[in-house]
Amino acid sequence: MKRSNQFDVRPRSVKEREVFVRWLDASASLWNETNYARRQSFLSNTNDSVWEVDTGTLESKYKGVLSSSVAQQIIRKNSEAWRSFFSLNEKYHAGKLDEKPSPPGYWGNEEDGRVLRTYVRNDQYTLEIGERSRLEVPIGSELKDELGLNHNQRLRLEFTGDPKWSGEQGRLEIVYDETADSFRAFQPITVDGSRLDSPLASHEAALDVGANNLVACTTTTGHQYLYSGRDEFERFHETTEEIAYYQSRLENQRESSSRIERLYRKRTNRRNHVQDALARDLVERLYESGVSTLYVGDISGVLSTHWSARVNEKTHNFWAYRRFIDRVECVCEEYGISVEEESEAWTSQTCPKCGEREETIRHQDTVTCPCGFEGHADLTASESFLRQQNNEVGPMARPVYLKWNNHNWREDHNPPSAVETTANEAYTHQSTTSGGNIALGQAQND
């Protein structure tokens, strides 16, 4: 069973950082040159011609900086990307895919910025975990000379984080996250399924997932969590406007540019980082509460198009519901928590106190009922969703409000007020969606 450790790599000095960046930049250059040669062969000849590119010469060109093993891994990774493209292309021509696939792309350029990324073979790096954890990776002889390393030494870097999984290690990926200004490492691990965590009890929880409040969660133990997403959407929207500005300046009917593609990557990576951290934070809280089953809404194909471009941007680009649920399911599997997708129809209108749903009124983030009930709309929806699956829900404790601080989710002891909030769009709830449904997906380039 595959799992992944993630940690941040931290060069110890300015010189070490310069060498590390050059190493990553050379990896991007090798990928781009390999990819360019293969794209030219593909456009001028047949599929088989891409494998006739002289990658040996390219490896020799870069091994002085990268080392032979890393150069080989970059070329091998590019080969995997082309094999995947050919497989998708066959499916497209066989009528099994609606959208024609594109050949593998480039990792940016020197002028507008490259994607700094590399891959290290599983037997070519080592991790030492302790008070001062270390990662050792191979570098070429040119960089060794600059750092004063001998022929047998490797670049030794500090890293932060506590890798959760141990087992057979896979190929290491290291990438520079320009949003967080950090070097992130991803280590695939093959583990025995019996080593996964088991739930501490048999409680249940339900999620209400949205675009303003990213997640509202209720457990049968009475715990409630609310993750605010308004600030994150505003940052997402600012980048969207920046993309639109540069698109308006394109000439000669060009559809994109390196700068625009870089902004798309920045926007998507930032959103994904928020979602991934949220999934991890939430599942760890649920595990500590003894949750063994998590219910999420089955809303496939129920989102409507809307007259407002900003609304469509929020629901179909920023929200990325399917990606987020896939991430939650992946993390839940680590902790032995099962995830069940169920209909959440009417949950946003149902009063948890008396069950009324026709006469309830939702205004901004508040839902009220003629019976006298008044509560937070999203938290109430998650509670109603949970009651649909399990009638035994304990007394509600004070909700935990969480906000993103650009690094992780922190508890906010000042819950959002009506003045600070705006209405959650009704179209994000299955029970209130009408006509013009489209399947929920991610935007192009996201």
Query: Counting every residue, how long is the chain?
Result: 446
What is the pLDDT at residue 428? 34
What is the pLDDT at residue 348? 77
Asked if residue 426 lies in contact with residue 346, where contact means CB atoms within 8 angstroms, the answer is no
Extents of the domains making up the chain: 2-193, 203-438
Say how far apart CA 122 and CA 136 lie, in whole Å: 12
> Per residue in 116-145, is it b (16+ CB within 10 Å) or e — as a string?
bbbbbeeebbebeeeeebebebbbbeebbe
How many CB atoms lie under 10 A from the CB of residue 156?
A: 15
Query: pLDDT of the chain along its 446 residues, tens only?
Result: 778 888 999 999 999 999 999 999 999 999 999 999 999 998 886 656 888 899 999 999 999 999 999 999 999 999 999 999 999 989 888 888 788 888 999 998 766 678 899 999 999 999 998 888 999 999 999 999 999 999 899 999 999 987 888 889 999 999 998 777 889 999 999 887 666 678 889 999 999 988 788 999 999 999 999 999 889 989 988 998 999 999 888 887 777 887 888 888 888 888 888 999 999 999 999 999 999 999 998 765 444 444 455 555 555 567 778 888 888 998 898 888 999 988 877 787 788 778 787 788 877 778 888 888 888 888 989 998 998 887 678 888 899 999 998 888 999 876 554 433 333 333 333 333 333 322 223 333 44
- Give the 3-state secondary structure percentages of the chain, helix then strand then coil, rounded to 5: 40, 20, 40
Q: Return the H-helix or E-strand segment holding 355.
A: none
Asked if residue 303 lies in contact with residue 251, where contact means CB atoms within 8 angstroms, the answer is no
CB-based burial of residue 368 (10 Å sphere; 0-12 exposed, 13-18 middle, 19+ buried)?
middle
pTM of the model: 0.64
CB-based burial of residue 100 (10 Å sphere; 0-12 exposed, 13-18 middle, 19+ buried)?
exposed
Say how far apart CA 230 and CA 132 lie, in whole Å: 37
Q: Which of 138, 132, 191, 131 is nearest to 165 (CA)?
A: 191
Q: Which residues of 67-181 form beta strands (DSSP E)?
A: 108-109, 113-114, 117-120, 126-128, 134-137, 155-160, 168-169, 172-177
What is the pLDDT at residue 356? 82
What residues have CB less than 8 Å from 313, skipping those under 6 apart?
Answer: 236, 237, 240
Say how far apart CA 47 and CA 89 lie, in whole Å: 10
Q: Strand order in 338-342's β-sheet?
A: 338-342, 291-297, 203-209, 213-219, 224-228, 400-404, 409-411
Q: Which residues of 60-209 form beta strands (DSSP E)?
A: 108-109, 113-114, 117-120, 126-128, 134-137, 155-160, 168-169, 172-177, 182-190, 203-209
Pairing between strand 291-297 and 203-209? parallel
Say how far apart CA 373 and CA 352 lie, in whole Å: 8
Locate 173 and state its tokens.
């990926």
What are the helix (H) ranges across 99-159? 141-147
Q: Three-class SS of residue 329?
A: helix
Say how far apart CA 412 and CA 421 lie, in whole Å: 15
Say how far apart CA 165 and CA 446 lie, in whole Å: 29
Q: Return the H-helix or E-strand segment holding 17.
A: helix 14-44
Tokens 């500090």, residue located? 158
Q: Which residues of 37-191 form beta strands (DSSP E)?
A: 108-109, 113-114, 117-120, 126-128, 134-137, 155-160, 168-169, 172-177, 182-190
DSSP label of 316: I
Locate 64 and state its tokens.
């002085």
The gap between the terminal CA atoms of the chain, to the nearest Å, is 28
How many CB atoms lie under 10 A from the CB of residue 95?
A: 7
